C-alpha cells in the first residue's frame, strides 16, 4: 500500500513573507501559507489575488523575490517543477496534462518505464503497478486503456493516482471540479479523504466555496497579493469568506433589480426525446429569469439543447414570439434570436485560439460583411462596442481568448450573442470556474440584459445562485418537470425534495 512518511498533523509546507514582483505589478506582498500532513487547506481569493503566483513559487515555476519556504522543516524552495516533484510536491490542474494517446500504465511510468533484465520495457510490471495503485483508490479503469478514451473524471482520477505513485507528499488541486458532474465530484471528494487519511497534504483552490466547507479543514483568504486570514473552516462561513475576498456579503451577491415580466417570447409545449426527457412544457417572458434546477442527469441541459436546435426533440412544439418554429439546428435557433451559453464554454462556446475580435463576430459576420467580404473596420468596431457594453477586461480586442480569465471568457460568449442579435439567452452553469468578484459582474450583466428587455433561462446546480437570481424556478427530475416555484414562495427544502431522485 502507498504510504507517506510525514506524521499526521506534522507541518509539510510553510511559506512566510513571500514577495514577488513582475514588471509593473506587485503580485505577492508578504504572503504566507502553511500545510500539514493529512489536511486539506483551501486557498481562496479572486482572480489576481495571488493564489496562482504563490503556488507557482511552491512548485518551482517562479522564483520568489524575498521570503522563506520550508519543506518538512527544512528551508529551501524548488527552482524547477522537476525539483518540486522530487520534493513530493505535485499539482492536478483543471486541464488534464497527460499523454492522451498512451495507455494509463504508460502515463504512470512516462519517461521512466520499468525494464526487464534484457533492458526491454517490462510491460507486465508496468500494468501490475498501475493496477495496484488504481485499486487502492477504487478507480475502476483498465491500465491498458488509452487516456483519450477515458472520461474527464476518469482522467482526473488517474492523474491523482499517478501523483501518488510518484510519492507525492503534497497534491495541489486547482479547480478540480470545474468539468465534473455532481456524482463525479462526490467520487473526487472520497478520493481526497483517502489521500488525507494516508498523510498526504492537500492544497485546494476553488471558486466554489461550498466545496471548501465540504472537503477542507482550513482556509486561507488572499486579496490583492496579500494574506488576509487563515482559519478553520468549521469556524467561518461563506459570508465571511466573501467579505474578506471582495468586501461584499452573500446578500449583496444576488442583489438585482426585478422587472415586471412582459409577453411570452418562448413557449415550449410537451416536448419529448426518447431516453432524455418527456412532456416538458414551460414559457419564458420578456424581462425575467426563469431558473432551472435539477441533479445531473435530470434532463435540464438536454431540454435546452433541444430548444437551441442542437438535439431536436422527437415530439412536441416550440413557439418563439407566438409563432411555431421548427428548430432542427443551432442556425435555426440563432435566426430566431436564441443564444445558448453552454456549461463548457471553452470547448463549446468559444474558439480559444482565436482573438476576442473573431469570437465576438462569430454569429455576426453577415452583419460585418459587404458582398461576402469582411469589413475589417466593422469587425473591430463590433468587438470594441461589445467589449465596452459587457465590461470585458482585456488590453486589446486582438487578445487571444485563451488568455482571458473565466469571467471575461463568459463575457465574450455574451458579446457573441449580442452581436448576433440574440434576444433570448440560455445560460447553462454561467459561473463555473469563475471567481467571486467575476460572479457578481456576471450577475449584473444578467440584470443589464433584463433591463434592455431580453429574456433569460438560467440553469445552475448551485441552489443559492438559482434561487437568488430567478423570478420563477422549475425543478427537473428523471427528464420531467417536477416542481414550479414562484419567487415569493421559494423554500430550499421543498425545492431540493422536488429535484431529488425518486
Q: Is residue 342 part of a domain?
A: no
- Which CATH number belongs to the domain containing residue 490 in this structure? 3.40.50.300
190 domain-assigned: no
Going by C-alpha positions, the residue among 173, 187, 258, 259 that lies closest to residue 216 is 173
User: Do 57 and 6 share a structural domain?
Assistant: yes
Q: 225 and 315: one domain? A: no
Q: Are strands 170-174 and 89-93 parallel, antiparallel or unpaired?
A: parallel
DSSP structure class, residue 41: E
End position of a domain, from candidates 393, 421, 449 = 421
Q: According to DSSP H, which parts of 43-181 are helical?
A: 51-58, 81-86, 104-108, 123-136, 152-165
Mean pLDDT of 61-85: 92
CA distances from 220 to 17, 61, 208, 248 (A): 15, 21, 14, 17
Tell me which of 201-210, 335-344, 492-501 is least confident.
492-501
CA distances from 494 to 275, 292, 491 (A): 26, 14, 5
Q: Of 247, 262, 284, which residue sits at a domain end?
A: 247
Q: Looking at the structure, tell me whether residues 324 and 437 fall in a common domain.
A: yes
220 Cβ neighbours under 8 A, 6+ residues apart:
33, 41, 42, 43, 44, 227, 228, 229, 230
Contacts of 312 (CB under 8 A, 6+ apart): 273, 306, 327, 328
Geometric angle at alpha carbon 35, from 33 and 37, rounded to 5°: 175
Q: Are residues 150 and 284 in the same domain?
A: no
- Domain assignment present for residue 345? The answer is no
- Per-residue confidence (pLDDT) for residue 331, from 0 to 100: 93
The answer to whether residue 191 sits within a structural domain is: no
Mean pLDDT score of the chain:
89
Instruction: Name the more confident of 15 and 25.
Output: 15
Regarding whether 428 and 299 lie in a shared domain, the answer is yes
Q: Which domain holds residue 431?
A: 252-337+423-502
Is residue 12 a contact partner of residue 39, using CB atoms and an 8 Å limit? no
Residues 207 and 77 placed together within one structural domain of the fold: yes
Same domain, 381 and 496: no
Q: Cα–Cα distance between 105 and 127 in angstroms, integer?
A: 5
**Whether 222 and 77 share a structural domain:** yes
pLDDT digit string, tens, across residues 36-57: 999 999 999 876 788 989 999 9
Q: Compute the average pLDDT of residues 289-296.
A: 89
Instruction: Point out the domain boundary residue: 405, 421, 437.
Output: 421
Identify whether 77 is part of a domain: yes
Q: Are residues 62 and 1 in the same domain?
A: yes
Answer yes or no: is 103 within a domain: yes
Answer whether residue 5 shows pLDDT above 60: no
- Residue 124 · residue 108 · CB < 8 Å: no
Q: Are residues 292 and 262 in the same domain?
A: yes
Whether residue 184 is contained in a domain is answered as no
Q: Calculate mean pLDDT across residues 213-220.
A: 96
Task: Please check whether residues 332 and 434 belong to one and the same domain.
Answer: yes
Look at residues 451, 348, 363 and name the one whose alpha carbon lies nearest to residue 415: 363
Q: Are residues 496 and 434 in the same domain?
A: yes
- Identify the pLDDT of residue 359: 93
- Indicate the pTM of the whole model: 0.66
Domain assignment present for 347: no
pLDDT at 309 over 90: yes
Is residue 501's pLDDT more than 60? no
Average pLDDT over residues 286-293: 96
pLDDT (tens digit per residue) in 422-440: 999 999 988 876 777 778 8
Which three-class secondary structure state does DSSP give residue 282? strand
pLDDT band at 154 (very low <50, low <70, confident <90, very high): confident
Count of domains forming the chain: 4
Amino acid at each position: 500500500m502507498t504510504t507517506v512518511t510525514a506524521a499526521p498533523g506534522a507541518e509539510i509546507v510553510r511559506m512566510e513573507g513571500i514577495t514577488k514582483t513582475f514588471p509593473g505589478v506587485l503580485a505577492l506582498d508578504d504572503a504566507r501559507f502553511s500545510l500539514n500532513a493529512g489536511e486539506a487547506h483551501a486557498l481562496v481569493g479572486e482572480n489576481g489575488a495571488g493564489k496562482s503566483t504563490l503556488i507557482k513559487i511552491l512548485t518551482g515555476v517562479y522564483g520568489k523575490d524575498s521570503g522563506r519556504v520550508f519543506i518538512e522543516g527544512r528551508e529551501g524552495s524548488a527552482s524547477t517543477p522537476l525539483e518540486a516533484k522530487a520534493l513530493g510536491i505535485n499539482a492536478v490542474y483543471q486541464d488534464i496534462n497527460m499523454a492522451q494517446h498512451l495507455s494509463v500504465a504508460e502515463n504512470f511510468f512516462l519517461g521512466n518505464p520499468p525494464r526487464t533484465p534484457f533492458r526491454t520495457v517490462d510491460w507486465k510490471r508496468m500494468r501490475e503497478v498501475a493496477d495496484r495503485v488504481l485499486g487502492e483508490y477504487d478507480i475502476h479503469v483498465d491500465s491498458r486503456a488509452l487516456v483519450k478514451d477515458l472520461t474527464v473524471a476518469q482522467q482526473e482520477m488517474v492523474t491523482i493516482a499517478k501523483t501518488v505513485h510518484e510519492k507525492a507528499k503534497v497534491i495541489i488541486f486547482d479547480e478540480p471540479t470545474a468539468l465534473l458532474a455532481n456524482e463525479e465530484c462526490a467520487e473526487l471528494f472520497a478520493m481526497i479523504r483517502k489521500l488525507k487519511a494516508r498523510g498526504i497534504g492537500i492544497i485546494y483552490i476553488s471558486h466554489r466555496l461550498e466545496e471548501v466547507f465540504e472537503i477542507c479543514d482550513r482556509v486561507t483568504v488572499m486579496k490583492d497579493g496579500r494574506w488576509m486570514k487563515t482559519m478553520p473552516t468549521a469556524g467561518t462561513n461563506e459570508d465571511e469568506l466573501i467579505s474578506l475576498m471582495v468586501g461584499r456579503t452573500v446578500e449583496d451577491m444576488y442583489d438585482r433589480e426585478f422587472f415586471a415580466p412582459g409577453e411570452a417570447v418562448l413557449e415550449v409545449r410537451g416536448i419529448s426525446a426518447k431516453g432524455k426527457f418527456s412532456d416538458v412544457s414551460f414559457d419564458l417572458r420578456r424581462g425575467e429569469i426563469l431558473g432551472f434546477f435539477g441533479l445531473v442527469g435530470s434532463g435540464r441541459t438536454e431540454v435546452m439543447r433541444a430548444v437551441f436546435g442542437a438535439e431536436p426533440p422527437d415530439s412536441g412544439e416550440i413557439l418563439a414570439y407566438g409563432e411555431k418554429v421548427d428548430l432542427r439546428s443551432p442556425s435555426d435557433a440563432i435566426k430566431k434570436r436564441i443564444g445558448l451559453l453552454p456549461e463548457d464554454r471553452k470547448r463549446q462556446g468559444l474558439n480559444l485560439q482565436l482573438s476576442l475580435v473573431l469570437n465576438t463576430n462569430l454569429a455576426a459576420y453577415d452583419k460585418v460583411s459587404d458582398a461576402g467580404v469582411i469589413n475589417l473596420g466593422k469587425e473591430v468596431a463590433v468587438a470594441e462596442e461589445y467589449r465596452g457594453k459587457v465590461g470585458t477586461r482585456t488590453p486589446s480586442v486582438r487578445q487571444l481568448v485563451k488568455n482571458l480569465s473565466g469571467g471575461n471568457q463568459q463575457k465574450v460568449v455574451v458579446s457573441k450573442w449580442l452581436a448576433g442579435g440574440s434576444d433570448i439567452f440560455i445560460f447553462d452553469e454561467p459561473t463555473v470556474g469563475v471567481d467571486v468578484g467575476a460572479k457578481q459582474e456576471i450577475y449584473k450583466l444578467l440584470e443589464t440584459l433584463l433591463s434592455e428587455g431580453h429574456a433569460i433561462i438560467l440553469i445552475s446546480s448551485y441552489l443559492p445562485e438559482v434561487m437568488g437570481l430567478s423570478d420563477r424556478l422549475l425543478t427537473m427530475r428523471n427528464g420531467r418537470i417536477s416542481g414550479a416555484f414562484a419567487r415569493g414562495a421559494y423554500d430550499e427544502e421543498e425545492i431540493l425534495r422536488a429535484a431529488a431522485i425518486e
